[in-house]
Every structure is written in C-alpha cells, then in structure tokens.
Amino acid sequence: MGSFEGMTAVVTGGSAGIGLATAKRLAAEGAHVVITGRRAEQLETAVAEIGDATAVVGDVSVTGDVERLYQQVRELGRGVDVLVANAGTNQVATLEETTEESHDRLFDVNVKGTFLTVQKALPVLNEGASVVLVASTAGGSGTPGQGAYGATKAAVRSYARTWANELSGRGVRVNVVSPGPVDTPLWDEVFGARAEEVKATVAAGLPARRVADPDEVAAAVVFLASSQSSFVDGVELHVDGGMNQV
C-alpha cells in the first residue's frame, strides 16, 4: 500500500474493464488518477468507484481530445508519473469479412490512439515515469478472425520496444501487458447474445479453465508501473492463463 503516494497516473479507457480495475488499484495505493473515455455517464460512475480521480471525456484517436486530457493534467500541476495506454476496441472478422471502415477504426483507436496518448504526454511526463501499454496475446497468436485486431496489438508491442530506447535518457520505462481472454464488457459488444457461450468455449481451451478477472490484469499493469519492476524495461508480460505459454 502507498506505492504511488503523491503521484499522478493517467489511465485511458479507465471507465470499465481493465482500465477501471487498474485505476482503482493505483488510487488505492495513493495515486491521483486521471481517467478518460468516450462516455461521460460511465466516467462519472467510475470516478465514484475509484475515489481520488478526475475524469476527462474524450476519444484517444482524436488529437484535440488527447491534448485536452493533458491540459487537465497540467492544471493539476504535478506532471504524469504513471501512464497506462489502455483504451482499445476489438472486432472478430476474417480477412474476407473485414471492411475498410472497421479496419480503419481498429487502427485509429488501438494504434493511433496509443501513439497520441504517449506522444502528447511527453511535455508532462516526469523523469523516471513508467509507461504501460495494454496490448493482447492476439498480437502474436495468428488467431482466425483476429487479423486486423492482432495487427494493431503487434504494432503496440513494437512501439514499446522503440519507445523504451527513445525515452531511456529520461529514466522512463516502457512495458507492455498482453492479456488473454478477460471478462470485460467487450464480450457483449463483440459477440452480443452469444457472449456467454463464446466465453465458456474459450475458457474450456485454457490451462486455467477460465477467463481472467480484470483485476488480475490490473495487478500486472500496476507491477510494471511500480518501483518493484525498476529494472524491467521493454518487456511484454503475458497474462493469459497459459493460453499461449503451454
């Protein structure tokens, strides 16, 4: 407890799922957490759950929205000590089924959004800050129906390698958490009425025999954000119940 006392953390996509679980953990350990997301009502509910938090409505794929996020951070006057680029979207579609519009939206949110989140943070990113990017095991698994989504997450992983080198002079570490299947609202968004059926099928194929709770992924994010991982830089930490490990 208290590992982030007096620090400021930014968590994109912080109103639900992994982002919300991460924001709650960071706040519980002393950080003031700035969260962003596209739905104002959901953000308000999240702030009530998190406690010491500020919400900024915005879309990470829109430059002006991201700049407004960091303007709010400037007004707090403390800079950013922890940056979690978590916001993302998903779809399940084969090469034949993927439309140009859906392909563009995936890359706008998952790749461009991650890029803008980190680039626009640079003027307020404190020396020795920790950056954690949330990718996915889909970035390296070649799972059918996950081509475009997997490509976006492979790009996120690639960014981390380069940014870890580019930001090392400022003492900034950049790492990646790649979750496997996690019990978040995205299941309902992607699969609709079939969500529980698909989730059960996926869980049956995992060594863990279940999907992850968002808090289990948040624990890995917070570890990489903390001083306990001070000599860990540029890594990809899989949190996947053994899905791609055994």
| Mean pLDDT (the chain, rounded) | 94
- CATH code assigned at 151: 3.40.50.720
What tokens were used for 54?
Answer: 């500020």
In a domain, 75, yes or no: yes
Residue 149 bears catalytic tag: yes
Place of tokens 């969260």: 35
Per-residue model confidence (pLDDT) at position 5:
95
Task: Please tell me the least confidently modeled range out of 81-95, 116-130, 188-202.
Answer: 188-202
E strands, 30-162, are 32-37, 53-57, 80-85, 125-134
Convert the pLDDT of each residue in 60-116 to its tens digit. Answer: 999 999 999 999 999 998 899 999 999 999 988 999 999 999 999 999 999 999 999
102: left (phi over 0), alpha (psi -120 to 50) or beta: alpha
Annotated catalytic residue: which of 70, 149, 159, 187? 149
Which pLDDT value is given to residue 80? 98
The band of 39, judged by pLDDT with boundaries at 50, 70 and 90, is very high
Q: What is the pLDDT of residue 1?
A: 61
Domain assignment present for 28? yes
Domain that holds residue 196: 8-237
Query: Would 129 be classed as within a structural domain?
Result: yes
Q: 27-62 in b/e burial notation, b at 16+ Cβ within 10 A?
A: bbbebbbbbbbbeeebbeebbeebeebbbbbbbbbe
Is there a domain that residue 242 lies in? no
In a domain, 3, yes or no: no
Average pLDDT over residues 186-209: 83
Q: Is residue 2 part of a domain?
A: no
The answer on pLDDT for 54 being more than 90 is yes
Do the Cβ atoms of 15 and 39 come closer than 8 Å?
A: yes
When divided into structural domains, the chain yields a total of 1
From residue 245, alpha-carbon distances to 19, 55, 180, 207, 238 in Å are: 24, 37, 11, 9, 9
Q: What is the distance between the alpha carbons of residues 239 and 99, in angstroms, rounded to a whole number?
A: 30
207 falls within a domain: yes
Quote the DSSP letter at residue 211. P
Tokens of 217: 């992924």
